[in-house]
Amino acid sequence: MLCTPIRVLNVTADGGDGKLCTPIRTQVGYSRCMTQLEKGPRGLRRGRGARERILGASRQLFRDQGINSTGLDQLCAVAQVSKRTFYQHFTGKDELIAEHLRRFDPDLLPEVFDRTDLTPRERLLAAFDIHAPLCPFIAAAVELHDPGHPARLHASDYKKAFAARLTDTAREAGAAHPEQLGEQLALLLDGASARSRVLDADTFATAAAIAVVLIDNAIPRNAD
């Protein structure tokens, strides 16, 4: 499963070199200093844009140190809001975590699946041409033990929807059993994401080579 890729490469049918697409990583940061009016009497940012600053801080902290290791005090400090302001936007940390995940890839990797310059087979392979940190949906599922947690539920929905998008593309490419191929590719992507984190190494190239074999076995060469 693919989440917030740092880059996506164009895939060509002849295996030639591709060009980088526009990066989609969003960097957390502020380009200018706050004025005294924006800071307020206690040196904190006023409410304008507070929700986005909270979400930006959660993206940074959850990625860098994990969900459970991030306390509300630290999150508010990084977001430059008071706890009172935090609770004006979120009922608690659980709601923030769920919204944090909803902000990731809401359109299911349109940078790959909505491309009209690639054949369906090439779009399936393009899903593996990434360099990404551990999938945030996997990370959240590992840290949040309650299967009924709203973030866990959203992570499950996302994974199913992503596999369905792979299945639809496999069907478009002419796969005899598109549901099977879609699930195989989704499992391969999730495994590559987790293994990359465990080994602190990029395993997506190996996953892509395996994907070629699966796709070639499932889709006749003249299908697309």
CATH code of residue 202: 1.10.357.10
Domain membership flag for residue 129? yes
Same domain for 157 and 88, yes or no, is no
Collapsed DSSP state (helix, strand, coil) of residue 146: coil
Structural domain of 183: 107-218
In terms of pLDDT, which residue wins out, 133 or 100?
A: 100
Q: What is the pLDDT of residues 115-149, one digit of tens each?
A: 999 999 999 999 998 766 789 999 999 999 999 99
Same domain for 82 and 129, yes or no, is no
CA-nearest of 92, 154, 144 to 75 is 92
Same domain for 70 and 123, yes or no, is no
Domain membership flag for residue 27? no
Query: Averaged over 137-166, what is the pLDDT?
Result: 95
Same domain for 152 and 214, yes or no, is yes
Domain membership flag for residue 73? yes
Q: How many folded domains does the chain comprise?
A: 2
CA 59-69-60 angle, to 5 degrees, is 15
pLDDT score, position 130: 73
Same domain for 129 and 199, yes or no, is yes
